[in-house]
């Protein structure tokens, strides 16, 4: 009989008991496969974080938000006086056991004082810090006071009419709502960020009036263009969105994408300063000041003489003092390019729908919210219907008493025992127990015909209301009408103008780095130890001996322009990209720039070749020790991102013995030599042009007796008596023995570096 598979430990208490037993040291290690370990221990934790902590639900709240707001609602803080934050925190712990500091941090972000939300839910008094400041800390909860904002009336409307499910709290002593019956799409109105396990959510805020209008239009026409009604997000910090309609449509469709936001500023030409009054929602004042300070220190913002934070009770303000003659607009385009004055908000509309995380577009979110809102309204109407039917039932019993009030009084007066009053009324007037109890509870002073007639006179209206409510429950169109009416009321009552301005990227000046960089001819040289020497043509003409280390030497050099890109190849098959202007000019007596440290190369990495280009046109020719050669265009190194390091810049299967940079229209004669003292002359085009930089190329010289390729150069750079003797016209070739004693190079050549 096969051995039964050992079940994973499921009872935590029994496991602890085993581990604390006095004989636990002799107990063998628990043999649990990693898959079972993940399933039993890790997956429940991951799902708990996703479902019960980090991802917002369709009502627009995470559990911590919902528990806090519901506690404040039950405390009577909707329309009541403010109370100490510490009081609210303590009461919230009955629903949220995560600790007082976590609860207070949640409250702080929801307050008007912190300015994180476009439409705050908590009216606050005291210091709650600021969303746009990293260092401005909030006061302790014993010093601050809070109550619910008026907007929360729309958050809790219908909660006492069974609009949402109520569940037990963590210890079963209280009830709390699963969701809050928000009457508007709060999920889109206020920003919400959360990091779960393996996923995250980042929902930006939209203008309340625009969201309500978009929801109304979507309800009547699901095919409508939502961009017409809510064109873009609206951030609490204001700023300007570089508005690209196609990009925004993509975000609305997929729920993912990036929104570029830049700061707002004013120029005071009289005092020669710039005042920044609004910054992107995703950054802070301190980060921006640090960015600008670093820019000044590096010499890239020489126009700035001082920068300071002048934020006060009137709001945010960063002041930049400029030097005389500064072009303020040009300076701001530079700051937008190099600092967080322009930043991006990364959208990830991940929402919990029926307990499952889903990344939804704006239309899908509105659709899910409308389905859920219809459910809330139906439950609320059902609750009202049951109340009205119960009231009608009681009034029907009261109407029977109207026939003979004296009889009712006589029955009650002649009944000897109190417990017999209800049964006697039921028998005397043919009514049920609920109706009899209702009649018996009427005060003596109210047992008169006028009182009873007044009470039952609304029966007809009540019947009409019941019929109308039943009709609404059967009619989705009428429920939609209720939703539309509520959305219009919310927009009219709580709507506000947009804070974030929309500007066109085409009309926005863009920083062009090349305009401020001086361009001139210069000479670059590379030494075997990896030093880069950058000399102006004038300093090179007047230079004496170029200084290098004793065991070092210059092995290549060329003329180029200061605005060119510099591509540096290393012996680790890596490519480092830089700009020539990134390196300061050197004097003839300087050793130069040590590339290993300046480009952050590996400790044992050495540059072996470099080229410069402005248009990435040209051909790179590489010969390898194994006898192969590769030819491919250098535009394979052109990248849209400003990447500084490219891995696998060329074939890594053999050591390179020579690099040549050729013009696209150039087909020079090349000469290659091997360790067997053989040589071959050939046209560069004999090696076919490939499209990938990692190509191993084609066999150039056939390896004989373990021979290897030693060198490759242009034929014009070498003194050869009879070059046609070495000419080959097909590949691979065996080459020809060298007749000359040496092949003398006319100038510096590429040789082995090790």
State the pLDDT confidence band at 516, using cuts at 50, 70 and 90: low
CA distance 248 to 258: 9
Give pLDDT, residue 47.
79
Domain assignment of residue 431, yes or no = yes
pLDDT (average), residues 223-243:
94
Same domain (yes/no): 35, 69:
no
3-state secondary structure of 285: helix
Give how many domains the chain has, as a whole number: 5
The 8 Å CB, 24+ separation contacts for 35-38 are 36/8, 37/8
Same domain (yes/no): 116, 73:
yes
Give pLDDT, residue 466.
94
Domain assignment of residue 753, yes or no = no
| Percent of the chain surpassing pLDDT 70 | 93
Domain assignment of residue 508, yes or no = no
Give pLDDT, residue 291.
94
Residue 122 has pLDDT above 90, yes or no: yes
Give pLDDT, residue 370.
96
Same domain (yes/no): 700, 581:
yes
CA distance 76 to 88: 11
- E strand intervals along 464-505: 501-503
Same domain (yes/no): 646, 562:
yes
Domain assignment of residue 236, yes or no = no
Higher pLDDT, 504 or 367: 367
Same domain (yes/no): 34, 62:
no
Domain assignment of residue 49, yes or no = no
Higher pLDDT, 316 or 459: 316
DSSP for 303-362 reads: TEEEEEE--BTTB--EEEEE-TT--HHHHHHHHHHHSTTEEEEEEE-EEEETTEEEE--H
Cβ neighbours around 69 below 10 Å, total: 25
Same domain (yes/no): 471, 595:
no
State the pLDDT confidence band at 152, using cuts at 50, 70 and 90: very high
**pLDDT of 626-682, one tens digit each?**
999 999 999 999 887 777 889 999 999 999 999 999 998 889 999 999 988 889 999
**pLDDT of 718-733, one tens digit each?**
888 888 888 998 999 9
Same domain (yes/no): 307, 423:
no
Same domain (yes/no): 130, 272:
no
Give me the residue label for tokens 């130069």. Answer: 592
pLDDT (average), residues 277-306:
91
State the pLDDT confidence band at 1, using cuts at 50, 70 and 90: very low
CATH number at residue 117: 3.90.199.10
Residue 12 has pLDDT above 60, yes or no: no
pLDDT (average), residues 286-294:
94
Q: What is the pTM of this model?
A: 0.70
Higher pLDDT, 107 or 457: 107
Lowest mean pLDDT among 190-199, 344-353, 740-749: 740-749
Domain assignment of residue 635, yes or no = yes
Domain assignment of residue 299, yes or no = yes
CATH number at residue 691: 2.120.10.90
CATH number at residue 430: 1.10.268.10
Q: Is 143 a catalytic residue?
A: yes
Same domain (yes/no): 676, 590:
yes
Same domain (yes/no): 615, 712:
yes
3-state secondary structure of 535: strand
> Could you say which of 494, 524, 551 is where a domain stops?
494
Q: Order of strands across the sheet with 304-309?
A: 264-268, 273-278, 318-322, 304-309
**pLDDT of 549-598, one tens digit each?**
888 899 999 999 988 999 999 999 999 999 898 888 888 888 899 999 98
- Beta-bridge partners for 535: 523
Lowest mean pLDDT among 334-343, 464-473, 731-740: 731-740
Give pLDDT, residue 52.
76
Higher pLDDT, 378 or 439: 378
Sign, Cα dihedral of 76, 77, 82, 87: positive
Same domain (yes/no): 382, 481:
yes
3-state secondary structure of 374: helix
Q: How far is CA 602 from the centre of its chain?
A: 32
Give pLDDT, residue 82.
95
Domain span at 37: 12-41
Whole-number average pLDDT of the chain: 88
Give pLDDT, residue 285.
95
Domain assignment of residue 204, yes or no = no
Give pLDDT, residue 749.
37
Q: Order of strands across the sheet with 200-203?
A: 192-195, 200-203, 342-348, 256-262, 240-242, 501-503
State the pLDDT confidence band at 545, using cuts at 50, 70 and 90: confident
Whether the Cβ atoms of residue 178 and residue 165 lie closer than 8 Å to each other: yes
State the pLDDT confidence band at 97, using cuts at 50, 70 and 90: confident
Q: Which of 42, 73, 121, 143 is catalytic?
A: 143
Residue 451 has pLDDT above 90, yes or no: no
Whether the Cβ atoms of residue 675 and residue 625 lie closer than 8 Å to each other: no
Residue 404 has pLDDT above 90, yes or no: no
Q: How far is CA 516 from CA 334, 510, 563, 644, in A?
A: 10, 13, 10, 21
Same domain (yes/no): 412, 281:
no
Residue 745 has pLDDT above 80, yes or no: no
Tokens representing residue 574 in the block? 């890596």
Residue 114 has pLDDT above 50, yes or no: yes
pLDDT (average), residues 333-346:
93
State the pLDDT confidence band at 194, using cuts at 50, 70 and 90: confident
State the pLDDT confidence band at 742, using cuts at 50, 70 and 90: low
Phi, psi of 737 (to 5 degrees): -65, 140
């Amino acid at each position: 009989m096969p051995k039964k598979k050992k079940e994973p430990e499921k009872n935590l208490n029994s496991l602890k008991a085993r581990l604390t037993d006095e004989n636990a040291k002799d107990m063998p290690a628990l043999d649990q496969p990693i898959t079972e370990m993940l399933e039993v221990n890790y997956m429940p934790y991951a799902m708990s974080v996703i479902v019960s902590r980090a991802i917002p639900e369709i009502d627009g709240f995470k559990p911590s938000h919902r528990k806090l707001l519901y506690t404040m609602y039950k405390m009577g803080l909707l329309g009541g006086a403010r109370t100490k934050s510490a009081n609210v925190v303590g009461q919230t712990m009955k629903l949220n056991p995560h600790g007082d500091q976590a609860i207070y941090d949640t409250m702080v972000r929801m307050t008007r004082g912190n300015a994180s939300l476009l439409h705050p839910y908590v009216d606050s008094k005291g210091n709650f810090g600021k969303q746009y400041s990293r260092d401005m800390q909030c006061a302790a909860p014993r010093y601050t006071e809070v109550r619910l904002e008026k907007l929360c009336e729309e958050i809790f409307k219908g909660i006492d009419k069974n609009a949402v499910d109520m569940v037990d709290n963590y210890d079963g002593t209280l009830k709390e709502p699963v969701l809050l019956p928000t009457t508007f799409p709060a999920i889109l109105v206020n920003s919400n960020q959360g990091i779960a396990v393996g996923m995250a959510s980042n929902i930006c805020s939209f203008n309340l009036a625009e969201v309500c209008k978009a929801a109304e239009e979507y309800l009547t026409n699901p095919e409508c263009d939502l961009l017409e009604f809510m064109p873009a997000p609206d951030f609490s910090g204001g700023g300007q969105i570089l508005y690209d309609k196609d990009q925004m449509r993509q975000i609305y469709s997929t729920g993912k994408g990036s929104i570029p936001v830049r700061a707002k500023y004013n120029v005071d030409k009289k005092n020669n300063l710039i005042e920044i009054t609004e910054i992107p929602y995703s950054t802070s004042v301190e980060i921006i000041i640090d960015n600008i300070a670093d820019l000044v220190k590096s010499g890239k913002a020489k126009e700035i003489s001082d920068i300071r934070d002048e934020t006060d009770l009137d709001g945010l303000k960063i002041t930049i003092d400029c030097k005389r003659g500064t072009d303020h607009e040009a300076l701001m385009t530079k700051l937008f390019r190099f600092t967080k004055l322009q930043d991006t908000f990364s959208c990830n509309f991940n929402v919990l729908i029926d307990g499952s995380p889903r990344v939804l577009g704006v239309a899908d979110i509105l659709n899910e919210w409308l389905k859920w809102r219809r459910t809330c309204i139906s439950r609320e109407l059902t609750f009202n219907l049951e109340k009205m039917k119960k009231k009608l039932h009681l009034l029907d019993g009261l109407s029977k008493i109207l026939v003979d009030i004296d009889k009712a009084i006589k029955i009650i007066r002649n009944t000897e025992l109190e417990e017999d009053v209800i049964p006697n009324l039921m028998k005397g007037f043919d009514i049920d127990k609920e109706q009899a109890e209702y009649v018996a509870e009427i005060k003596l002073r109210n047992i008169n015909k006028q009182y009873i007639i007044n009470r039952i006179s609304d029966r007809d209206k009540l019947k009409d209301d019941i019929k109308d409510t039943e009709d609404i429950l059967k009619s989705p169109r009428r429920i939609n009408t209720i939703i539309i009416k509520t959305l219009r009321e919310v927009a009219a009552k709580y709507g506000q103008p947009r804070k974030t301005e929309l500007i066109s990227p085409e009309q926005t000046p863009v920083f062009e780095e090349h305009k401020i960089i001086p361009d001139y001819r210069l000479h670059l040289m590379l030494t075997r130890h990896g030093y880069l020497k950058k000399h102006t043509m004038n300093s090179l003409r007047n230079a004496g001996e170029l200084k290098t280390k004793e065991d070092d030497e210059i092995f290549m050099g060329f003329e180029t322009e200061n605005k060119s890109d510099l591509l540096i190849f290393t012996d680790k098959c890596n490519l480092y990209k830089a700009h020539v202007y990134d390196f300061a000019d050197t004097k003839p007596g300087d050793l130069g720039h040590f590339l290993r440290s300046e480009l952050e190369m590996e400790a044992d990495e050495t540059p072996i070749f470099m080229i410069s280009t402005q248009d990435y046109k040209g051909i790179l020719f590489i010969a390898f020790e194994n006898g192969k050669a590769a030819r491919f265009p250098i535009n394979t190194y052109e990248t849209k991102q400003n990447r500084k390091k490219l891995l696998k810049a060329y074939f890594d299967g053999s050591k390179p013995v020579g690099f040549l940079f050729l013009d696209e229209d150039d087909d020079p004669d090349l000469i290659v030599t091997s360790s067997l003292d053989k040589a071959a002359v050939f046209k560069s085009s004999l090696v076919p042009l490939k499209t990938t930089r990692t190509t191993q190329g084609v066999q150039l010289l056939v390896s004989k007796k373990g021979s290897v390729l030693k060198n490759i150069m242009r034929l014009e750079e070498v003194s050869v008596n009879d070059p046609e003797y070495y000419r080959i016209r097909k590949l691979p070739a065996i080459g020809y023995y060298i007749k000359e004693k040496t092949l003398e190079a006319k100038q510096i050549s590429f040789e082995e570096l090790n």
